[in-house]
Structure 1
């Protein structure tokens, strides 16, 4: 993916483009040879991509001819995925169509519009001839493809200017923008040429908005933000980008935790919670192997060389990486299925028309402070129940429930930071400490299980297993130390907790 940093401007057809030689930071402005670009845009028949600010096109002409998928990133910045031109002009390459599956959900991608652009480019350069910024002056003919919408052919013509950084800094972009505005340009009224052409054909979601300041408004706003995060990470997971699986899994967990904690505010979500648990678990297999692989690599790096026997680095590195890749393949396959699409449909419906309870109309601060307090008291209750269990194995299982309750309390408190401020921050920190301290023990148990599996494979292959035993001992010692230290950590945490509300 490439990042574009650009500003767009609307100009009249007779606009006189200013000279840029006098712009500070620019030594010369070089006119490029004009070029003609023809782009066909693809979307579902109901314009699901356009509704999310996403463009998918096949462009002929210019230096970047090919397929382009632009995904919203932030204000003025977009993620762009490119693919070489294919022989077919009507079939979207599988690599790109897969990246928008979370939005298309299996609906076919068809041509919906065509843009013919005559582009004149001015290249701004420094004293060494290095390209800093390009000003593209576009005369555009846009055609809405009638077959996509069952209407008569529609054609529009207009002119616009785009300033895009190619090596300079954002200060230069601002100075160029100022020069364009002084000459009569205005900030573009639409995000893209396609948005301008399609206009009100693009569907606008009808949302049920709870009254501002109510518990319902706070909860729904948070749920929408986490659904947005989930959808943003979906193409990154499919692209196997760094930390994407982790971030998408966290979004799923935060959504599920919110639905659990705020069940008195938003109801009828049990089925959605179960499906979020499913997809988080599917993602978790790959994520857990990634964490364990990194964990073993660090431990082996810290050992003296004479304590590392046999091909253990390869087995705990390459073998686990292969297993991680297989788990990721299973996750992405699940993300192409009807079960995943059905979950996304249900999430869309839930945030558009949330099934709110009468409590949702109550004042946010008072109502949700009680929820935060309840989430922490749930952790305390789980801990007390666990400590009352005499059987060690059963008590260990119960302590896993304490950790899960702490994670839920943490997510709940973090979601309420904008509302409750320091109270929520304090609770979130304490819940996180409980979660992470208990997590050290759980991570050690998981690591021991994988080490035993790999030890068996190494023994069958006739390899030296000395280092495996050493690692098992280290993991067991660290896990036990964490478990033994937890009661003291707990007493300190509980002694400092101030309930959010009573």
Structure 2
């Protein structure tokens, strides 16, 4: 099993890494430099990719080596994959030799047993890099550090590569995060969840950046609360990181929304376990910062795409509303750019590395109980708090409505985390009711936030004051006419029964 961290850096910072005193202090031997070229193979219908495998042949010191990597996972930035590697006599895979390396692991033997696989294999792309390799001894942990600089090529199209890999040869996975944090003090780095093969396949498929929703979480029936904690936190981090590139490089508002939801889910998850495993204050502060950066951009997206549309679609609206939308669009783009810069910042990288290091620590005491018992206790507490918040809702106090929405959201997230431990109609009814509550109260909150944003625009654009005041008045009237039926919401929540 290969265990490694992947980090990106600017080519301009390569010399800083090559001369880093931390590397010199821990190197067991001088750096090795190689020119490597690897061909990656698959079928035209991407059989290996569809089964979570990658196959390459690379020449190393005059010998052809074939490598297949498959399965595994990426958790809090740590890549774990099965790896089988051995020499071949040609720049093309030898499937028979590969089967011998795989041994009795039937799942991967079945992948190689596909009809006419040998005949259908073809080279899809080439990865060519200059590699610098160090063998490090870090506090008793054997780590291989690699700097790769080069490109991925397919049919004349190139994608640059400039990355660091920290592979654990022997020792504690937490040492990878700790060492990366020390490197980052002098060399700007970014954590990467995408390996070279995945980037090569993206070049083949010419896939763009699309929003990624939270993936379903399956907890084993005999899982402990400690097992559930790690699985849930990793699920939240994956939700965040899978939308990272799309927020940086794209302009789809949904990708930013999904990343923000991922941060909210992470904060809710941390709160579930804070009694036994409190998040370090500095780390929690960084998570709050990230949510704030994404939230600021998301608020403008909602104003632009949803809230102001009510005015545009209304007969009698002033012609200046189009100018107002242009101002809102400019503000939304600026906030989106700020969110992207936050993700490119060293603070964000430090957040992810620190989170990964913290999660690699031994399971804290107090989480030995079955996950089912823990979930039952947590859900009872959240349900009680939700009913209490709902009882205190007051139309004249928007904050009380907002607090109820937050309580519904946290109860929903918790039940989604633990849903595999439950089942039946009660589960579906509970989740459906909480989603409906969030939607009704969320629409009300959008109008409250819209008024705040319009006041900000008013302070920045005196010439648009009349149009902004008109929009504020219209939306305030809309808020009054569309006040959610708080009584009906209370009744629906009180009728709920925990699954």
- In which range does the TM-score fall when normalised by the shorter chain? 0.5 to 0.7
Report the equivalent of 1:203. Answer: 168
Q: Which one has the largest radius of gyration?
A: 1
Report the equivalent of 1:375. Answer: 382
Instruction: Verify the 8 A CA contact 1:406 1:435 in the aligned structure 2.
Output: yes
Q: Secondary structure of the equivalent of 2:442? A: helix
Report the equivalent of 2:147. Answer: none
Give the distance between the partners of 2:342 and 2:43, measured in 1 at CA. 47
Q: Cα RMSD between the aligned structures?
A: 4.7
Residues 1:273 and 2:210 aligned together: no
Give the distance between the partners of 2:41 and 2:363, measured in 1 at CA. 53
> Aligned pair in 2 of structure 1 residues 113, 203: CA closer, same or farther (>3 Å)?
farther
Residues 1:445 and 2:454 aligned together: no
Instruction: Verify the 8 A CA contact 2:236 2:266 in the aligned structure 1.
Output: yes
Report the equivalent of 1:288. Answer: 299
Residues 1:116 and 2:40 aligned together: no
Residues 1:315 and 2:317 aligned together: no
Q: So what's the TM-score if we normalise by structure 1?
A: 0.58
Q: Secondary structure of the equivalent of 2:92? A: strand
Q: Secondary structure of the equivalent of 1:230? A: helix
Q: Secondary structure of the equivalent of 1:499? A: coil
Report the equivalent of 1:141. Answer: 59
Q: 1:257 aligns with which of 268, 284, 287?
A: 268
Report the equivalent of 1:397. Answer: 399
> Aligned pair in 2 of structure 1 residues 417, 354: CA closer, same or farther (>3 Å)?
farther
Q: Secondary structure of the equivalent of 1:51? A: strand
Residues 1:92 and 2:11 aligned together: yes
Q: Secondary structure of the equivalent of 1:178? A: coil
Give the distance between the partners of 1:357 and 1:176, measured in 2 at CA. 46
Give the distance between the partners of 1:421 and 1:267, measured in 2 at CA. 30
Report the equivalent of 1:244. Answer: 255
Instruction: Verify the 8 A CA contact 2:304 2:329 in the aligned structure 1.
Output: yes
Per chain length, whose mean CA-contact separation is higher, i.e. which structure has more relative contact order (CA < 8 Å, sep 6+)? 2
Instruction: Verify the 8 A CA contact 1:437 1:486 in the aligned structure 2.
Output: no
Give the distance between the partners of 1:123 and 1:244, measured in 2 at CA. 30
Report the equivalent of 1:329. Answer: 337
Give the distance between the partners of 2:264 and 2:418, measured in 1 at CA. 16
> Aligned pair in 2 of structure 1 residues 122, 279: CA closer, same or farther (>3 Å)?
closer
Q: Tell me the CA shift for residue 371 of structure 1.
A: 0.7
Report the equivalent of 1:341. Answer: 349
Q: Secondary structure of the equivalent of 1:115? A: strand
Instruction: Verify the 8 A CA contact 2:433 2:492 in the aligned structure 1.
Output: no
| 1:231-283 deviation digits (Å, cap 9, x = unpaired) | 22222221134222212111111111011023245334454333222211111
| 1:180-215 deviation digits (Å, cap 9, x = unpaired) | 3479x89xxxx9999xx9999533795699995212
Give the distance between the partners of 1:483 and 1:51, measured in 2 at CA. 52
> Aligned pair in 2 of structure 1 residues 114, 177: CA closer, same or farther (>3 Å)?
farther
Report the equivalent of 2:92. Answer: 160
Q: 1:227 aligns with which of 232, 237, 240?
A: 237
Q: Secondary structure of the equivalent of 1:357? A: coil
Q: So what's the TM-score if we normalise by structure 2?
A: 0.58
Instruction: Verify the 8 A CA contact 1:442 1:479 in the aligned structure 2.
Output: no
Instruction: Verify the 8 A CA contact 1:334 1:340 in the aligned structure 2.
Output: yes
Report the equivalent of 1:37. Answer: none
Q: Tell me the CA shift for residue 402 of structure 1.
A: 1.9
Instruction: Verify the 8 A CA contact 1:403 1:438 in the aligned structure 2.
Output: yes
Give the distance between the partners of 1:494 and 1:315, measured in 2 at CA. 42
Q: Tell me the CA shift for residue 476 of structure 1.
A: 2.1
Give the distance between the partners of 1:338 and 1:355, measured in 2 at CA. 28
Q: Tell me the CA shift for residue 445 of structure 1.
A: 1.4
Instruction: Verify the 8 A CA contact 2:276 2:364 in the aligned structure 1.
Output: yes
Give the distance between the partners of 1:272 and 1:402, measured in 2 at CA. 27
Q: 1:180 aligns with which of 114, 117, 126?
A: 117
> Aligned pair in 2 of structure 1 residues 494, 207: CA closer, same or farther (>3 Å)?
farther
Instruction: Verify the 8 A CA contact 2:307 2:447 in the aligned structure 1.
Output: no
Q: Tell me the CA shift for residue 420 of structure 1.
A: 1.8
